[in-house]
Chain A
Amino acid sequence: MTAAIIDPPPGGDLILQARKVTKAFGGLIAVREVDLDIPRGAIISLIGPNGAGKTTFFNVIAGILDPTSGVVELGGRRMVARPVRAWLEPVTWVLPAVIIGALGVLAYQASPTAGGLIVLLALIGLIAMLLAAIVRPAWYRVLLERFGVFKSARPNEMVRAGIGRTFQNIRLFANMTALENVQVGMHLKMKSNAADALLSTPRARAEETASVASALHYLELVGLKGRGDQAARNLPYGDQRRLEVARALASEPALVLLDEPTAGMNPRETREMTELIGRLRRDLGLSFLLIEHDMKVVMGISDRVTVLDHGECIAEGTPDEVRRNPRVIEAYLGRPPE
Chain B
Amino acid sequence: MTDIAAGLEQALRGVCDPETGRDLIAMGMIYEARIVGVSAHVTMTTTTRGCPLTEMLRLGVEAAVLAVPGIEAAEIRLSWDPPWTPERMEPLPF
Q: Do these two chains interact?
A: no
